[in-house]
Structure 1
Amino acid sequence: MKLCFGKYGLIVSLVITGFIGCTSRNYLLINNLSDYLRYSPDKTPLISAHRGGGSYAGYPENCLESFGHLARQMPLIIECDISTTKDSVLIMMHDDTFERTTNGTGKVTDQPWIYAQNLRLEDHRGTLTNYKIPTLDEVLKWGNGKVIYTLDVKRNVPYQWVVEAVQKAGAQNYAAIITYSVTQAELVHRLDRSLMISVTIRNQEEYERLQKAGIPDNRMIAFVGTREPSAELYEFLHQKKIRTILGTLGNLDKMAEARGEDTYRKFVDNGADILSTDRPLEAGRALGLIR
């Protein structure tokens, strides 16, 4: 038994199947990711840092240093983006080109890894840092015992490559794969039936299609969209023991910024279990995950 932050900042003792505990630095130590991500009304809400939390000065997106900056402050899911170089090295990069986030130029897929590894990352204001582009292998190695990943696989990257990298790192207990269609979810599940999969479920019909494709409830995390769904959808998914991710990135983050950080609490009270946000520190404080 370990002591961790509970819902809205209360200190509680947790004895949850699949949960080992939190270190003094708030790192997540997960024994069984499927059990940990199964819905239960007493489980603490979580923050998912969109693009790895690259919305703070000096901390670029999709960067190990940014991951660490946030993970030391609260239990955290890191949503991060995977692209590939010309010579098939999987790297962390959201855009098709290097210009916005680095001091490099050109298409990511047109350059070899030797080019990418010598670039420096820029933060969201365009300030150049000394931080480098990490590979997926480096990210998976770093995250063990620290965070949960949701891996966003860009269109130029075969899902099989990512699944193989997760398997090689032994990261099935702290890395889930993001999919955007039933076909993609079915492929990931076929490649590795132990993996957790982030699937889009904005209505019951989308759930039914995933179920018919053979995706078990205990392998689903439900992304319900970037606007609040109906209370009925939350209730339906929770009855299936499926945790929900609400994408507050964009308009809902702007709403919280304008109306006050307690808005994030309301999203959770309405049924969201995980908030995927560009404002992870602000949302984390609102939910009592940061002292």
Structure 2
Amino acid sequence: MNLRRVSRQLAVAASCFVAAQVMGQSKKLNVLNISTPQQLQQYFKYTGHDVPLISGHRGGPDVNAPENSLEAFEHSLQFTPATFEIDPHLTKDSVVVLLHDDTLDRTTTGKGKLNSYTWEEAKKFKLKDVNGNVTPYRIPTLEEAIIWAKGRTVLILDKKDVPMETTAKLIKKHHAEAWVMITVHNAKQAKFYYDDNKNVMFEAFVKTKQAMEEYEQAGIPWQQIMAYIGPDIKPENKELIELLHQRGVMCMISSAPTYDKLPTTEERAKAYTAIIKSGVDVIEADRAIEAAAAVKSLAPASSDKNKFFGKK
């Protein structure tokens, strides 16, 4: 027996085993196959036989996956396809970063106001997870998030202290109209962005019939709107939902300030299910993974939306 050959074969086998172990630990992501603004509009078009959609509030935080972090996005996408609502804020030197609060204390190892620090200073702080534990991760810039998200997910930019002109410029710079949406609180804000860029998609506050009429009067195409109707299920929303559905608009409830705070998994699952059964199409949740699991069984056997879901 050639001991040298046996040793070489064992070494090769060991290398293959290690490689297989590493590959097995690398989970594929559930991604959204959206590459054009028109496909993004189709993804959010109400058809009456749609898959319940999930959006991770503040990036879908979890244990060891801090809010507004790339790590949180990736963690959530291991379990479900999702979009992510995120919070752009300015540093002292006007770099746009992701942070929900004006201050650093709750979510990072930093202290005081974000705008007291330059980007070079702020990026040295570590992010904390949902339990307040310090992680190895740092505050990302919005540009980093936009680059990472392409081909994986859709980002929805909340309205914080970043000037609208800056937001519009960043989207144009990266030609990101297919995977970056803008939260607008009223028709006036939507009109600013739409006049600047006819391809931009909105998560628009449409909590009343009057607000709905204002978007129409402003000339914002309904195919470029996904409507946020509030944080809870209300009987008076039924007519509004029907009117929006007639216009091909999906409706969203954010469970972050309401149902996400229920004390047990069972209570939260019941609430997420009730949201979809009420006629709502999209749930924006801090607990995005939980919400996705709760409503999975409510998806129709066949839907045109299935073409947008893939693995990477």
Task: Settle same-fold status: TM greater than 0.5.
Answer: yes
- Mapping of 1:184-203 within 5 angstroms? 184-203=189-208
Separation (CA, whole Å) in 1 of partners of 2:91 and 2:129: 21
Q: Verify: 1:205 aligned to 2:215, yes or no.
A: no
Question: TM-score, normalised to structure 1's length?
Answer: 0.87
Aligned to 2:243: 236
Using the TM superposition, give the Cα deviation of residue 262 of structure 1 relative to its aligned residue in structure 2, in angstroms: 3.2
Using the TM superposition, give the Cα deviation of residue 109 of structure 1 relative to its aligned residue in structure 2, in angstroms: 1.4
Q: Aligned AA for 2:279?
A: G
Q: 1:162 aligns with which of 154, 160, 167?
A: 167
Instruction: Give runs of ≥4 in structure 1 deviating > 4 Å.
Output: 255-258
3-state secondary structure, aligned to 2:121: helix
Q: Aligned AA for 2:195?
A: R
Separation (CA, whole Å) in 2 of partners of 1:263 and 1:64: 28
Q: 2:51 aligns with which of 23, 40, 44?
A: 44
Separation (CA, whole Å) in 2 of partners of 1:50 and 1:221: 15
Aligned to 2:261: 254
Using the TM superposition, give the Cα deviation of residue 217 of structure 1 relative to its aligned residue in structure 2, in angstroms: 0.7
Is the contact between residue 29 and residue 74 of structure 2 (CA under 8 Å) also seen in structure 1? no
User: 1:260/1:210 Cα in 2 relative to 1: closer, same or farther (>3 Å)?
Assistant: closer
Aligned to 1:27: 31
Q: 2:283 aligns with which of 255, 275, 282?
A: 275
Deviations 1:27-71 (A, max 9, x none): 1111321122111112211111110112x2211100000110001
User: 1:113/1:260 Cα in 2 relative to 1: closer, same or farther (>3 Å)?
Assistant: closer
Is the contact between residue 259 and residue 268 of structure 2 (CA under 8 Å) also seen in structure 1? no
Aligned to 1:83: 89
Unaligned 5+ segments in structure 2 are 1-26, 300-312
Further displaced range: 30-39 or 88-97? 30-39
3-state secondary structure, aligned to 1:150: strand
Further displaced range: 179-188 or 199-208? 179-188
Q: Aligned AA for 1:91?
A: V
Q: Aligned AA for 1:163?
A: A
Separation (CA, whole Å) in 2 of partners of 1:129 and 1:116: 15
Q: Verify: 1:152 aligned to 2:158, yes or no.
A: yes
Aligned to 1:67: 73
Separation (CA, whole Å) in 2 of partners of 1:35 and 1:58: 34
Is the contact between residue 82 and residue 136 of structure 1 (CA under 8 Å) also seen in structure 2? yes
Is the contact between residue 86 and residue 155 of structure 2 (CA under 8 Å) also seen in structure 1? yes
Q: Aligned AA for 2:270?
A: D
Separation (CA, whole Å) in 1 of partners of 2:277 and 2:42: 22
Number of residue pairs aligned between Structure 1 and Structure 2: 266
Using the TM superposition, give the Cα deviation of residue 24 of structure 1 relative to its aligned residue in structure 2, in angstroms: 5.8
Deviations 1:238-270 (A, max 9, x none): 000001111111222235846351331221121
Q: Aligned AA for 1:94?
A: H
Q: Aligned AA for 2:247?
A: K
3-state secondary structure, aligned to 2:54: strand
User: 1:117/1:238 Cα in 2 relative to 1: closer, same or farther (>3 Å)?
Assistant: same
Further displaced range: 261-270 or 271-280? 261-270
Using the TM superposition, give the Cα deviation of residue 153 of structure 1 relative to its aligned residue in structure 2, in angstroms: 2.7
Using the TM superposition, give the Cα deviation of residue 117 of structure 1 relative to its aligned residue in structure 2, in angstroms: 1.2
Separation (CA, whole Å) in 2 of partners of 1:51 and 1:227: 18
Separation (CA, whole Å) in 2 of partners of 1:182 and 1:193: 15
Q: Aligned AA for 2:58?
A: R
